Amino acid sequence: MIRKVLIVDDDEDVRYVTELAASRIGKWETVLASGGREGVEKARSDRPDVILLDVMMPDVDGPATLVLLREDPATADIPVIFLTARSQQGEVESYKALGACGVIVKPFEVAGFADQVREIVGGR
Amino acid sequence: MTASLSAPTAADTRELKARVATLAQLLEVYERSVIDQSRRLYAEQERMRFQTALLECQGEDSPDGILSVGTVGRVLFTNRRLAEVWGLTREAVDMGSHAALRPLLARQTADPQGFLARTAALRPDEECREEVVLADGRTLDQYTAPIRGADGRDFGRVWYFRDISAAKEVSRQKDDFISAVSHELRTPLTSIVGSLGLMELGAVGALPVEAQEMVGTAKRNCDRLVRLINDVLDIEKIEAGRIALRLAALELTPLLEQALEEIRPYGTPLEVDFELAEPLPDVRVRVDPDRLLQVLENLLSNAAKFSPEGETVRLGAARRGRFVRVSVTDRGPGIAPELEDRLFDKFVQGLDRSARNKSGTGLGLNISRAIVERLGGRIGYRPEPVGTTFYFDLPDADLPGSGVPARDSRGLGGVL
């Protein structure tokens, strides 16, 4: 049962829209982070049920953030979904190999967003 | 008694002189003939020398490394470029036998065993083009073919090697650019599509009716932009040959049924229905299911878009020799004559630009054709008394010699 979602994205507008989709459509509590480091901190402090993680971020990018999350026992088990504007077939598989549950391609459909998240997380 | 030779008579002398003269004449003729023949022979030799020198120069200065091997494995010709592209000295490639040269070349590659195996696997009449990756990171384009005379005489085999590392680098940069551009385009679209989607759902408050319609219009066109970016990326990947197809021999009927189920909701607002034409053949095709469904979705949605309200689009399949033909038939207005030759080109759309037909990207048929051809098939259409049938033929997976050749033009044997 998903109650709280952490959204990590360096684009302010994407954060805004994703946050609204998560709270208004998914009816989840939301936590926001603008970069990989902040994302790891907030994951530790706020214990979300799911992390929505952007791939392309400056400094610590999505995959690097995932590695950090997996290294810490406190955050290692939180399911992570990559939000990415890149959707090369090979890349999707490599994300899963890194430990992500799945990938949602940007731009995403708001209407089905919450169901998509639940399906990816539920399927692990 | 002394034998006496009778002294030659005047008549004898005359006859002798005449015979000598004739002999002399004959000799002269003969001499002239010999000189003539010699001249001709010399001219012929000059021509041969010229031709040989010309061929040698052409071969020597060719942008390709050339290696010709005779029927019993003797090296017939090498040029300077051969040594260059392989990173060897001229002396090193001047091995007398192919058997001695081969391992030398193999050692220069990133996969010597693979290179030797593929060379050994060449059939005598086989012609093929492959990429060879070298240990130093460069890539060679290798083309090889048997050398046959006009009368069918077998001279052996020729290899052409060209260093395509620069072209590959340019191609890689182009890919990176397109990838980066598509990412840059999709990021702002995420916020736009998301905002419009939330407004449309009423998740940020109720909208006046006119505003709602406006949001609908904006969202429809945003969705179209997103599809366009996806299609452009797709077609670029397909044309660059970088689509990794996951081929498997699959039953055709379940795939057709799945395509129909997935497209049904598309027809509902258009008041167009879809129907599977029975009976369907029991046949398997070697396809990547996602890509096949992509082609079917394209053909079925086109058919629906151009069908009048209340009509039905029929999806069927039938064997045609070694192939199975999948057909999508609509009862629409047919194909305008001015579009006939260009239908599968990029960015060609129907002339009817009414709302129901505006949602396409203009790339669907182009992508479908590329996919079908990569699957070893052909795509086409034919007019019906009313409407049009679009079809594609795929090889029967269970017949020998079917499917995509193991070595395509990129030499990606493992990918297929």
Task: With CB atoms and an 8 Å threshold, state whether A108 touches B186.
Answer: no
**Binary contact (B190, A88; C-beta < 8 A):** no
Contact yes or no for B186 and A17 at CB 8 A: no
- Alpha helical stretches, state H, B87-164: 90-93, 98-108, 112-120
Average pLDDT of the segment spanning A44-62: 94
The interface residues of chain B toward chain A in range 161-180, judged by CB-CB distance below 8 A, are 179
Place of tokens 């009368």: B151
Mean pLDDT of A55-76: 92
Q: Lowest-confidence range among B10-24, B182-196, B214-228, B240-254?
A: B240-254
Partner-chain contact A110 B193, CB within 8 Å: yes
Question: pLDDT tens digits for B253-295?
Answer: 999 999 999 999 889 888 999 999 989 999 999 898 889 999 9
Question: pTM of the entire structure?
Answer: 0.62
Q: In this complex, do A86 and B187 lie within 8 Å of one another by their Cβ atoms? A: no
B198/A contact by beta carbon, under 8 A: yes
Chain A residue with Cα closest to B178 = A86
B406 touches A: beta carbon within 8 Å: no
- For residues B95, B100, B103, B104, the Cα torsion angle rounded to the nearest 10 degrees is -20
Question: E strands along A9-119, which residues?
Answer: 29-33, 50-54, 80-84, 102-105
Convert the pLDDT of each residue in A77-86 to its tens digit. Answer: 999 999 988 7
Percent of chain B surpassing pLDDT 90? 53
Q: Name the packing angle between helices B165-200 and B209-239 (round to 10°).
A: 160
Q: What residues of A are in contact with residue B247 (Cβ under 8 Å)?
A: none
At B410 the three-state DSSP class reads coil
Nearest chain A alpha carbon to B195: A17
Q: How far is A26 from chain B (nearest CA, A)?
A: 11
Q: Is B191 within 8 Å of A13 when comparing Cβ atoms?
A: yes
CA distance B197 to chain A (A): 6
- Confidence tier at B376 by pLDDT (50, 70, 90): confident
- Does residue A48 or residue B346 have the better pLDDT? A48
* pLDDT tens string B30-83: 999 999 999 999 999 999 999 988 988 888 888 999 999 999 989 999 999 999
Cα separation, B162 vs B146, in Å, equals: 18
CA–chain centroid gap for B36, Å, is 54
